[in-house]
């Protein structure tokens, strides 16, 4: 299995502005205080929960889990390298917020219900499960041809997953988080080379190099677009 290692490393997703705006969005969903307990499933380098920890000084440090342990994971949170279902099955702690941001598509459909059932069980009364995925409609992410084909295929699967999530969770609320991306073409090309998004993982080096040239020809200077995430919210 190929793992996504660079989605939050030198991308707009790791920028201070993005993290600040995303956490402002979370603040509309949950009333954070020192007693709030937070779990981030698929936390990457833990940029999101590290910023929350810094701001709210949680008595119980925010917990981040991932199947990959990157070199520069934030030090002010509790990080555990573990599969999400194994963690939820073994750990009986209850959380006010369980966050699954842009990682649910990595779970096989056969395991999705298990993941959701465990997550719901690990919520405190009135706790919230927030699942973020790429918006499956009118996506603006700059793509070369092979990348667009792979992304469209991935988004089709995401749409099926969303239907299963809605069916399993039943009572959900859906909103959207939007971030205006302005990135230099040079930086975006470096992101492509580092395979920052999962639809690039199975693209050959030859096709990736060809695609990079496509982007170079299309975008000479700044690249501007709207990064839109769908947020599915479940309240226990």
Residue 63 neighbours by CB distance under 10 Å: 23
Q: What is the mean pLDDT of residues 165-173?
A: 89
Strands of 38-41's sheet in order across: 78-81, 63-66, 38-41, 95-101, 123-134, 222-235, 173-184
Q: Which residue has the higher pLDDT, 160 or 37?
A: 37
Read off the DSSP letter of residue 158: H
Using DSSP, how many helices (H) and how many strands (E) does the chain show? 7, 7
- Res 6 pLDDT > 60: no
What pLDDT, on the 0 to 100 scale, is given for residue 1?
44
- Domains of the chain, by residue range, sit at 12-178+228-235
What pLDDT, on the 0 to 100 scale, is given for residue 13?
87
Q: What is the mean pLDDT of residues 14-30?
A: 95
Of 5-9, 124-128, 223-227, minimum mean pLDDT range? 5-9
What pLDDT, on the 0 to 100 scale, is given for residue 14?
86
- For helices 109-121 and 145-169, what crossing angle results, to 10°? 50
What pLDDT, on the 0 to 100 scale, is given for residue 3?
58
Helix (H) or strand (E) holding 234: strand 222-235
Q: What is the mean pLDDT of residues 131-150?
A: 93
Read off the DSSP letter of residue 12: G
Mean pLDDT for all residues in the chain: 92
85: three-class secondary structure by DSSP: helix
- Res 146 pLDDT > 90: yes
Closest among 138, 115, 103, 131 to 7, alpha carbons compared: 103
What pLDDT, on the 0 to 100 scale, is given for residue 7?
63
Report the distance separating Cα 122 and Cα 119, nearest Å.
Answer: 5
- Res 142 pLDDT > 70: yes
Report the distance separating Cα 43 and Cα 65, nearest Å.
Answer: 6
- Res 115 pLDDT > 90: yes
What pLDDT, on the 0 to 100 scale, is given for residue 137?
86
- Res 105 pLDDT > 90: no
- Res 70 pLDDT > 90: no
40: three-class secondary structure by DSSP: strand
Q: What is the mean pLDDT of residues 82-92?
A: 94
Tokens of 88: 């939820």
What confidence category does residue 50 fall into, taking pLDDT thresholds of 50, 70 and 90? very high
Tokens of 43: 């936390």
Q: What is the mean pLDDT of residues 48-74?
A: 94
pLDDT in tens, 179-189: 999 999 999 99
What pLDDT, on the 0 to 100 scale, is given for residue 220?
87
- The HSE-up count of residue 85 (CA atoms within 13 Å, CB side) is 12
Per the CATH hierarchy, to which homologous superfamily does domain 12-178+228-235 belong? Vaccinia Virus protein VP39 (3.40.50.150)
Phi, psi of 219 (to 5 degrees): -120, 115
């Amino acid at each position: 299995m190929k793992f996504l290692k660079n989605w939050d490393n030198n991308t707009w997703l790791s920028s201070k502005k993005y993290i600040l705006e995303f956490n402002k969005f979370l603040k509309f969903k949950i009333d954070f205080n020192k007693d709030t307990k937070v779990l981030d499933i698929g936390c990457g380098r833990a940029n999101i929960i590290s910023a929350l920890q810094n701001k709210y000084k949680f008595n119980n440090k925010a917990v981040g889990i991932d199947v990959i342990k990157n070199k520069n994971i934030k030090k002010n949170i509790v990080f555990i390298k573990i599969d999400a279902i194994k963690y939820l099955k073994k750990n009986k702690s209850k959380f006010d917020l369980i966050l699954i941001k842009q990682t649910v598509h990595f779970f096989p459909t056969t395991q999705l219900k298990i993941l959701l059932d465990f997550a719901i069980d690990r919520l405190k009364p009135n706790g919230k499960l927030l699942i973020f995925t790429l918006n499956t409609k009118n996506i603006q992410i700059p793509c070369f041809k092979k990348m667009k084909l792979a992304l469209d295929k991935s988004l089709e699967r995401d749409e099926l997953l969303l239907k299963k999530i809605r069916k399993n969770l039943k009572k959900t609320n859906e909103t959207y988080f939007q971030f205006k991306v302005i990135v230099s073409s040079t930086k975006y090309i470096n992101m492509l080379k580092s395979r920052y998004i999962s639809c690039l993982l199975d693209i050959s080096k030859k096709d990736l190099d060809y695609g990079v040239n496509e982007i170079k020809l299309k975008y000479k200077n700044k690249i501007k677009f709207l990064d839109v995430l769908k947020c599915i919210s479940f309240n226990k």
